[in-house]
Amino acid sequence: MKRHFVWSGFWLIVALTYCFEARAIDINWFYTDQQGQGFFDPVLGAQRRAAMQAGADIIGHFLRPTYFGEAMTIQVNSYYDASSNTLASAAPNFFYGNFGSSDPRYQTDTHYPKPLADSLAGHELDVGHIDAHINVNLAQSFYLGTDANPPAAQTDLVSVAVHEVMHCLGFDDSFRQQGGYGVFGDNTYDSDTGVSGFPKIYDRFVSYGTSPVIAIGSSDTRAAALVSNNLFWNGSNGAASNGGSPPKLDAHSPFDPAVNVAHLDINAFPTDIIAEGIAPGQVKQTVSSVDRGMYRDMGWNVSVFPSNVTWTAGGGNNLSSNNANWSQAPYPGDNLTFSTNAANVYDVKMDAAL
């Protein structure tokens, strides 16, 4: 998603309200297929790539960057396995900890996926590293349209892309079946039962009932918690987005490392995009308030609920990027209002990339 129009010193003559989409984050794909294959298939390749980009744009729309040019690149690998029910899988490639941030949500001794670490640091920490990867099973019957209208026998690829990008940006835990957790910077670990490196930021919000799982000393007890049907998200924004109740996470038995913990509970949130599973003909493209609340807890700048934000001109300049000029800091998806003044005239410099 690229919006780079710069409006400088224009005059607003009447009151104006519109949807704020300033400074969304670009999510770019790096396809590993050879020409003529997979996502470069001469017949289906362009449609496949368009569906993937549509999914990326849905996520990028909600995220407010912290520095100019903030973007991320996700590697896409295709494969064909007709014997598998797996549609796709995804994970961040690299994690960073103790890099420093002025954001009050930042936590030390914690590993953040590269896109979120960059955002919290206010600059790219490691130029040249691809942020994450997605593996797509093209043996599945995917609907490649971008109109959210898949036939009953096909799975909506846009919905699959949205789901997998959400994992790349933080919906990703490190808990292992035997009760171990934590990773090193390259997403590896050296203990199935103990602690490796630092916990991921997602791990810090996972609670067994009301107790943080990483605070449980026994690996056996941690392992039991992962299949207890009693895991919850203990972040304040996640709870606020769910009517004040901690969102329930997947903790079914038997343990499935591809499903447990890093998804919302399918029974509690049957239509949520980050709950595991999508049926043929189903569309799951909406990033819910619960999803956004959890992202905000982890450190992403995202609006949990769309807000009404008014231009106050109280910041000492006319820059739209100056939060002091607004009634509150605007986020993508907020409604901006320029209320009337005596002259009905406003000088607003849209210095942000739109």
User: What is the C-alpha to C-alpha distance for residues 61 and 74, in angstroms, rounded to an integer?
Assistant: 16
Does residue 354 fall inside a structural domain?
no
User: What is the C-alpha to C-alpha distance for residues 224 and 179, in angstroms, rounded to an integer?
Assistant: 8
59 and 77 fall within a common domain: yes
CB–CB of 177/191 below 8 Å?
A: no
170 and 309 fall within a common domain: no
User: Which of 4-13, 244-253, 342-351 reaches the highest mean pLDDT?
Assistant: 244-253
Cis peptide before 254 (omega within 30 of 0): yes
Q: Which of 258, 276, 298 is the last residue of a domain?
A: 298
41 and 117 fall within a common domain: yes
User: What is the C-alpha to C-alpha distance for residues 322 and 299, in angstroms, rounded to an integer?
Assistant: 20
69 and 171 fall within a common domain: yes
292 and 323 fall within a common domain: no
User: What is the C-alpha to C-alpha distance for residues 345 and 68, in angstroms, rounded to an integer?
Assistant: 29
Q: Which two tokens stand for residue 104?
A: 């009050």
**How confident is the model over 142-150, as a mean pLDDT?**
98
Q: What is the CA radius of gyration of the chain?
A: 21
218 and 323 fall within a common domain: no
Does residue 353 fall inside a structural domain?
no
Which position has the higher pLDDT, 329 or 21? Answer: 329
Does residue 206 fall inside a structural domain?
yes
Domain span at 316: 7-19+304-347
Structural domain count, the chain? 2
Does residue 330 fall inside a structural domain?
yes
Q: What is the pLDDT of residues 200-214, one digit of tens each?
A: 999 999 999 999 999
Q: Which of 276, 298, 320 is the last residue of a domain?
A: 298
- Residue 20's pLDDT band (boundaries 50, 70, 90)? very low
- Decide if pLDDT at 162 tops 80: yes
Instruction: Note the pTM of the prediction, 2 decimals.
Output: 0.85
182 and 34 fall within a common domain: yes
Does residue 2 fall inside a structural domain?
no
Q: What is the pLDDT of residues 236-280, one digit of tens each?
A: 999 999 999 999 999 999 999 999 999 999 999 999 999 999 999
**How confident is the model over 114-119, as a mean pLDDT?**
98
- Decide if pLDDT at 102 tops 90: yes
Nearest-CA neighbor of 220 among 274, 178, 187? 178
